[in-house]
Chains A and B, each alone.
Chain A
């Protein structure tokens, strides 16, 4: 890291991160009860007409919730952006130090100010390298200081885990379809043909759907086809695949249809009726699959 970056980070020390902000809700009994329920805290001091809020809820009264606070200071935004730009895109809270000046009670309206207290030099941690940012928040009810909340986060660049993609799933090869996969190994797309009635069938099945005869031979597909239909897979992401991608039902020139991928064309450009041509794509040492590429004349 350049000393220049550290100097820029350090320049935010002492700058405000929040000014005269108001808590989204006043201290209130329902939020206290939900907290106590979640944490299993049965302290009677937190219920009844003289209830106080659990002191450790201090930070809760300053939280932005789902919609956040609409007024973060420019200085704090800039600091976070600078850290993001330097690769420190992840964040984790590491320290919380609170002083409770007086108990908070339902009805107390909280205002608070936060100052960026310090930004550390680049540190290496188990999570990755990054900078600790410490803020100090003073909470008030009216003019009275009621609590001090010092908070430290680590903004860090996640340590790179060697990301080994799991292999693409293997086909299930059985007695009924072994001939098909044998063909694929030899870069041939074989279609089954009933020897009794000559009906072509795909995928491979033990008998003819037309006449019920069990005997068959094969015809090698020319490899010409068209996109009969397709879907674009967005979610859920399966480990071996990179969504989004197009899964197409290809109608072969011979008339049968098969499910495959359309490769070499952005998923959003795949269209019904597109002419495609067979290719054999190797995915790893052991896996070759028949896939389809948009035919030259229709290339987009």
Chain B
């Protein structure tokens, strides 16, 4: 593994259930993540995924690839195009740096309207564990 290598994509169907379940599992009760009528009243076309769920999916993408021994050290994400129900998000990753046991991955999650999330994950591969 070296800088520039790509890791296989992960496709996430953005269902209404995922958005609501993710919001509730992350204790985020902002109405825009579960109540379409109130979301529309605030100018959004529908409910949309909360940042904690996106953060969790980015983490899952990396640990799915590196395996259960891998340990996340840092996750830094920025949100762009919202994840609305019915869309699909495809997570892709590019190895940015390999330093001994530690790997830095640039992650992009693209949906039908643009990049939902861009970020960087630092993971320890956990070979010592």
A interface with B by C-beta (< 8 Å): 24, 31, 34-35, 37-41, 43-45, 54-57, 59-60, 63-66, 90, 92-100, 103, 158-159, 161
Q: Which residue of chain B is the closest to A52 with respect to CB atoms? A: B71
Q: How far is the CA of A57 from the CA of B59 in the complex (A)?
A: 10
Determine how close the nearest CB of chain B comes to the CB of A243; give it in whole angstroms: 13
In the bound complex, CA of A296 to CA of B24 (Å): 55
CB < 8 Å: which of A24, A59, A66 contacts B26? A59
What distance in Å separates the Cβ of B119 from its nearest Cβ neighbour in chain A? 9
Contact of A43 among B21, B25, B68 (CB under 8 A): B68
Cβ contacts A to B, 9 pairs, < 8 Å: A24-B27, A39-B53, A41-B56, A45-B63, A59-B52, A60-B25, A96-B51, A96-B55, A97-B76
A37 CB contact (under 8 Å) in B25, B51, B78: B25
Contact flag A56-B21 (CB < 8 Å), given A98-B75, A158-B43: no
Among B29, B42, B56, contact of A35 (Cβ-Cβ < 8 Å) = B56
Of the residues B29, B55, B63, contact of A98 by C-beta under 8 Å: B55
State whether B50 touches A93 (Cβ < 8 A). Answer: yes
Cα A103 to Cα B63 with chains together (Å): 14
A60 and B63 within 8 A (CB) = no
Indicate with 1 or 0, residue by residue over B49-65, a CB within 8 angstroms of chain A CB atoms: 01111011111100110
In the complex, what's the smallest C-beta–C-beta distance from A139 to chain B, in angstroms?
Answer: 14
Evaluate whether A93 and B51 lie within 8 angstroms (CB atoms) in the complex, with A35-B25, A39-B22, A59-B26 already known. Answer: yes
In the complex, are the beta carbons of B56 and A98 less than 8 A apart? no
B36 at the interface (CB under 8 A from A): no
**CB contact between A63 and one of B26, B53, B69 (< 8 Å): that residue:** B26
Query: In the complex, which residues 81-99 of chain B have their Cβ closer than 8 Å to any Cβ of chain A?
Result: none
Q: Which residues from chain B sit less than 8 Å from chain A, CB to CB?
A: 12, 18, 21-22, 24-29, 42-43, 50-53, 55-60, 63-64, 68-69, 71-79
CB distance from A166 to the nearest CB of B (A): 14
Instruction: Tell me the bound Cα distance from A115 to B25 in angstroms.
Output: 25
Contact A35 B74 (CB under 8 A): no
Q: Indicate the member of B27, B43, B64, B68 with the most A CB atoms within 10 Å.
A: B27
Write the nearest CB–CB distance from B126 to chain A, whole angstroms: 9
Q: Is the CB of B72 within 8 A of A55?
A: yes
For B81, the closest partner residue in chain A by CB is A126
State the CA gap A183–B126 with chains docked (Å): 84
Docked complex Cα distance between A55 and B71 (Å)? 8
Nearest chain B CB to A100 CB, angstrom units:
6
